[in-house]
Amino acid sequence: MVNLLLPQQLQIAPDRHDPDPLVIYHARCPDGFGAALAAWVFYEGGAEFLACDHGDVRAVEDLPPLDGRAVYILDFSFAPDLLGEIERRVAKLVLLDHHKSAAEKLTGFVCRCGVVHFDMQRSGARLAWDYFQTDRSTPALVRYIEDRDLWNWAYPESAAFLAALDMEPMDFERWAEIASYDEAKLADFMSRGQAMDEKFRKLAQDMALNAEPVVFMGQAGLMLNAPGAFHSLLGEILSRQSGSYALLWSAGKAGVVKVGLRSQKGFNCIPLAESMGGGGHAQACGFRMKAERLAELLSGVFNP
């Protein structure tokens, strides 16, 4: 049996002879796709990949057949009961994630056939590359993805690189090519992204002018309707203005409203997100709700 939290060197290694590997990763997320890419490169495309968002899987029957397989869950997690159902069916289970709310829910979970590992100091993509690609250095693609996902912005060139990357389809072959770029190709790629990043930031500044006050569970902040691609940048702008948090929402398909919460250090958004069945990081998390509740949100006072 393996404990929830382990040192950086995990006890269970990937194997190219893993039985019928299935890789489940965070959908529509560069960090999640970057994590899946590490496994795709390791297995040379010879695995099944499933992009998964929160709420997509409510029972083990919603997943592909699991019996006797090696299952990797990257930049993502499931509730303890569902993860236990998965674990009982598989031959091998490895979960690599860095979301604080998920780690708290899985505290004490014991895995009989693998490892459940959380590291809040590394992004999902970095965790997966450190795990699947131990014999190669971390590519620039992963460094820059992590820089934004953890909201560190330690590399001045991250914004330009990511602006260009965000224009690319989430295609394993294409991302593997970008991950192998030399310095000259990286410079050319980032030059394409620089102008896009400048325009993106100008649009965000203009959009931020339309923010409205909101009180969520008694906590005052600012809210704005904005596309998901703008949530992190607008969240940074508006949480600075509010001194607490920003709530960004967008209407999706099937009457679902997606809500992102962003805050400054010192304000933990997780209780707000969890009150609506969501989760994530202390300064970046979210939830989904039915469109019927949108009018209540727009009134400026919102409670679970």
Give, in order, the Cα–Cα distances in Å from 219 to each of 35, 124, 213, 246, 260.
34, 30, 11, 11, 15
| CATH at 259 | 3.10.310.30
* Same domain (yes/no): 284, 146: no
Contact present, 124 and 149 (Cβ < 8 Å): yes
CATH number of residue 74's parent domain: 3.90.1640
Mark whether 86 and 157 lie in a shared domain: yes
Give every strand in the sheet of 301-302, ordered side by side: 279-280, 284-290, 256-263, 245-251, 219-225, 212-216, 301-302
**Is 188 found in the same domain as 257?**
no
**pTM score, whole prediction:** 0.88
Measured CA to CA in angstroms, residue 227 lies from 24, 204, 232, 283 at distances of 25, 10, 10, 19
**122-126, 195-199, 208-212: which range is least confident on average?**
195-199
Distance CA 61, CA 214 (A): 39
**Lowest pLDDT segment from 123-132, 170-179, 250-259:** 250-259
The neighbouring-strand residues paired with 262 are 246, 284
* Residue 252 domain-assigned (yes or no): yes
Whether 225 and 174 map to the same domain: the answer is no
Q: Name the nearest CA neighbour of 221 among 200, 249, 201, 202.
A: 249
Asked whether residue 7 carries a pLDDT value surpassing 50, the answer given is: no
15 is a domain residue: no
| Domain assignment of residue 43, yes or no | yes
Q: Residue 181 falls within a domain, yes or no?
A: yes
CB-CB neighbours of 293 under 10 Å: 14
Query: Within this chain, do residues 225 and 148 fall inside the same structural domain, yes or no?
Result: no
Asked if residue 34 belongs to a domain, the reply is: yes
Whole domain around residue 238: which residue ranges? 212-302
Q: Is position 6 within any domain? A: no
Q: Is residue 17 part of a domain?
A: no
Q: What is the pLDDT of residues 69-90, one digit of tens each?
A: 999 999 999 999 999 999 999 9
Our count of domains for the chain comes to: 2
Domain boundary among 163, 192, 221: 192
Q: For residues 55 and 283, what is the distance between their CA atoms, to the nearest angstrom?
A: 21
The answer to whether the CB of 264 falls within 8 A of the CB of 222 is no
